[in-house]
């Protein structure tokens, strides 16, 4: 990966400056984002993470977009905390398929003292497989952040979701400040941050501007910035919310890239609903991380083979943490490219 840019990241973007980026002609915005992307990253590499739900459903929080909230009836099957061995078996499988980071999500308001030691074991196990570790467990206190840091957790995911102004329309069981407090505890304990938001929840552009501005004011910027497109799930209050224009979503990615030039911008939830051309434009706008695998917490994710076929088609390589695993992934991509060539007609028909 190259890191040749001499331009220093800024932490003082104003709302008007961010809005002006959104207002650029689409091609100008894309060109600017892609130029900044190339100054900071290998242009044809995308980081691949796998996400596993280690504790599903019955969450006491009321996030209006989430099928795991206990406040809504989404007929989601609830599960207790997974056994450590099962989680590690999934992590080994993810590594085999080319993931460099393994993310574990638990539907909790905050982790309980009873469950926490098991999560620490999971993190240690994932790291011993040579994978980067990431967890999302809800609100943390100082001691929990320190214990996660002590076992070597690489990333903590804690999204701000939207602007401070729109937040109360989405969640009432916690505040924006609660989120900022956990984020600063995590940062203070030396763990890297994964923090982003969800687009298409009925927010206005000023809320997308506000979210990105807020993220860009964090010093340093979150290392990983997931930009999600709402997945509308039946039974949640957002099942019928109006679709966000796809170009506006791509613009959001491009602006995130410009504001946070050295962060991995992750094209995250909602990717399954996007065609390959939209995904390609998201990569062009500076997205350089995806979730890969069959499930994204509780909503579907494009099948792994389809992702590899898209990577092969676009000449993208998965970014690798360890050099020695490059070979296996390169082989997988090459095999996929051959398969794709052989069945081109069928492949194109299925897009
Ligand atoms: S998004 Fe997380 S905190 Fe909110 S309801 Fe879903 S699982 Fe709970």
Bind-site residues for [4Fe-4S] cluster:
59, 63, 66
* Residue closest to 180 by CA, chosen among 164, 201, 204: 164
Catalytic (active-site) positions: 59, 63, 66, 103, 134, 194, 266
State the Cα–Cα distance between residues 7 and 296, nearest whole angstrom.
Answer: 35
| Nearest-5° Cα angle at 168, 110 to 217 | 80
Closest residue to atom 5 of ligand 1, CA basis = 69
User: How confident is the model over 44-68, as a mean pLDDT?
Assistant: 87
Grade residue 253 by pLDDT with cuts at 50, 70 and 90.
Answer: very high
Query: Which CATH architecture is the domain 15-349 placed in?
Result: Alpha-Beta Barrel (3.20)
- Residue 195 CA, chain-centre distance (Å), reads 8
Ligand 1: centre distance to CA 216 (Å): 24
Q: Read off the pLDDT of residues 204-233 as tens digits, 9 standing for 90 and up.
A: 999 999 999 999 999 999 999 999 999 888
Asked if residue 89 lies in contact with residue 54, where contact means CB atoms within 8 angstroms, the answer is no
Asked if residue 230 lies in contact with residue 244, where contact means CB atoms within 8 angstroms, the answer is yes
State the Cα–Cα distance between residues 291 and 271, nearest whole angstrom.
Answer: 9
Q: Read off the pLDDT of residues 14-37 as tens digits, 9 standing for 90 and up.
A: 999 999 999 999 999 999 999 999
User: For ligand 1, what atom is nearest to the CA of residue 70?
Assistant: 5
Q: Which of 61, 78, 299 to mutate to test the pocket of ligand 1 (most atoms within 8 A of CB)?
A: 61
Q: What integer best gives the mean pLDDT of the chain?
A: 85
Both tokens of residue 345? 């007609």
Ligand 1: centre distance to CA 65 (Å): 9
Beta carbon of 90 within 6 Å of any ligand 1 atom? no
Q: Which of 58, 66, 81, 174 to mutate to test the pocket of ligand 1 (most atoms within 8 A of CB)?
A: 66
pTM confidence score: 0.83
Cα of first residue to Cα of last residue in the chain, in angstroms, is: 31
Element (H, E) at 102: strand 101-106
Q: What is the DSSP letter of 274?
A: S
Bind-site residues:
59, 63, 66, 103, 134, 194, 266
State the Cα–Cα distance between residues 246 and 229, nearest whole angstrom.
Answer: 9
């Amino acid at each position: 990966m190259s890191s040749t840019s001499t331009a220093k990241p800024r932490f003082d973007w104003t709302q008007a400056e961010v809005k002006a980026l959104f207002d650029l002609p689409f091609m100008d915005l894309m060109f600017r984002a892609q130029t900044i992307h190339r100054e900071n990253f290998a242009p044809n590499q995308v980081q691949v993470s796998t996400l596993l739900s280690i504790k599903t459903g019955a969450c006491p929080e009321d996030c209006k977009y989430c099928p795991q909230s206990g406040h809504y009836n989404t007929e989601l099957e609830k599960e207790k905390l997974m056994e450590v061995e099962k989680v590690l078996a999934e992590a080994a499988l993810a590594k085999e398929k080319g993931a460099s980071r393994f993310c574990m999500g638990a539907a909790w308001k905050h982790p309980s003292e009873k469950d926490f030691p098991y999560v620490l074991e999971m993190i240690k196990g994932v790291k011993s497989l040579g994978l980067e570790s990431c967890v999302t467990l809800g609100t943390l206190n100082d001691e929990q952040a320190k214990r996660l840091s002590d076992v070597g957790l690489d990333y903590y995911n804690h999204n701000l979701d939207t602007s401070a102004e729109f937040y109360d329309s989405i969640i009432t069981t916690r505040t924006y400040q609660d989120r900022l407090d956990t984020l600063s505890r995590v940062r203070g304990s030396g763990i890297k941050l994964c923090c982003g938001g969800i687009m298409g929840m009925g927010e206005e552009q000023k809320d997308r501007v506000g979210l990105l501005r807020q993220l860009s004011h964090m010093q340093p910027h979150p290392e990983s910035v997931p930009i999600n497109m709402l997945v509308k799930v039946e039974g949640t209050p957002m099942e019928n919310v109006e679709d966000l224009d796809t170009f506006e979503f791509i613009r959001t990615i491009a602006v995130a890239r410009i504001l946070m030039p050295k962060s991995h911008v992750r094209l995250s939830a909602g990717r399954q609903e996007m065609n390959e051309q939209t995904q390609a434009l998201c990569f062009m706008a500076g997205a350089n991380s995806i979730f890969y695998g069959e499930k994204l917490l509780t909503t579907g994710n494009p099948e792994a083979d389809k992702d590899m076929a898209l990577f092969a088609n676009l000449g993208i390589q998965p970014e690798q943490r360890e050099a020695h695993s490059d070979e296996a992934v390169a082989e997988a991509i090459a095999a996929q490219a051959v398969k794709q060539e052989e069945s081109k007609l069928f492949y194109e028909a299925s897009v």
